Structure 1
Amino acid sequence: MSAPWLADAVVLAHLAFILFVMFGGLLVLRWPRLAWLHLPAAAWGVAVEWTGWICPLTPLENALRERAGQQAYGGDFVQHYIMPLIYPDGLTRHTQLVLGALVLLLNVTVYAALWRRRGGRRG
């Protein structure tokens, strides 16, 4: 496989991971054992947004693009691919904090529903 194809595959994997972070809790409602995979992913997603870290997939994609003679980009995946769709002016620190809070709120809501559905604490 050539570097441009690999870079595109990284982009797709990155997008799939972000969607899993955001909406994976809904899958957990159907398959509760998936929580062991989703909870760490969601925690990572919130941490990346709240701390301003760059996900390791972004430098990997950029390296593959440079190897293919394409131009790499600055910032992170969300800023480069997602934010232009939602917020054309770009990603601000405040927006990152809001996105992290939304991911956290969505997942806390889903896990609270799962907890109630399963009968709360089992004693």
Structure 2
Amino acid sequence: MTSLVLAAGYAAAALHFVFFACVVLGGFAAWWRPRLFWVHLGVAAYALGIVIVDWPCFLTEIENWSRAATGRAVMESGFIDFYLTGTLYPREHLMTSRVVIAAVVACSWAGAWWLARRRAARGREPFAVGGGG
């Protein structure tokens, strides 16, 4: 049982990294597959809610449950602070990192918009929800 709980915690941590990568880079995937813009919009909105509104993150809850159940220290302030702050960037540059991430997302969306306009000019659906790619 303990190994399953531990595996759930590791899976949640891995999914956290995937989620973070999707937040930062997912808009660029919409350049390739325009329908992914809507997925990225949802992911980015949820991430923004976690940061601004302090929504709970179910992955953090799963990882903390696993940590507590296996005798490890829980993450007091969440995934970003636990794994990334102080590792990828100095703690005092948290706001700078958020601004950079927001700029990367904005650039990806600007590119998606530009490509959508080009597709529309060619008579293709720019951000089709169903059908086409």
Give me the TM-score of the superposition, normalised by structure 1: 0.78
Structure 2 CA distance for aligned equivalents of residues 91 and 68 of structure 1: 33
2:9 touches 2:64 (CA, 8 Å); kept in 1?
A: yes
Structure 2 length normalisation: TM-score? 0.73
Identical-residue share of aligned pairs (%): 28
1:98 counterpart = 2:114 = no
- Write the letter of the residue equivalent to 1:69: G
Match of 1:66 in 2: 68
Aligned residues: 120
Q: Deviations over 1:49-106 (max 9, x none)?
A: 23344422112211111111111121011111112222233675x3475256335423
1:19 counterpart residue number: 21
Matches within 5 A, 1:35-46: 35-46=37-48
| Deviates most, 101-110 or 29-38 | 101-110
Relative to structure 1, is the Cα distance of residues 91 and 53 closer, same or farther in structure 2, using a 3 angstrom cutoff? farther
Query: 2:44 is aligned with what amino acid?
Result: A
Gaps of 5+ in 1: none
In structure 1, what is the Cα distance between the partners aligned to 2:53 and 2:96? Answer: 12
Which residue type is aligned with residue 80 of structure 1?
F
1:112 equivalent to 2:128? Answer no
SS in 1 for 2:91: coil
Distance in 1 of aligned mates of 2:29 and 2:37: 9
Please identify the structure whose Cα radius of gyration is greater: 2
CA spacing shift, 1:99–1:77, aligned 2, 3 Å: farther
Aligned partner of 2:111: which letter? V
CA RMSD of aligned residues (A): 2.5
- CA deviations over 1:13-41 (Å, ceiling 9, x no partner): 11101111111111111111222322111
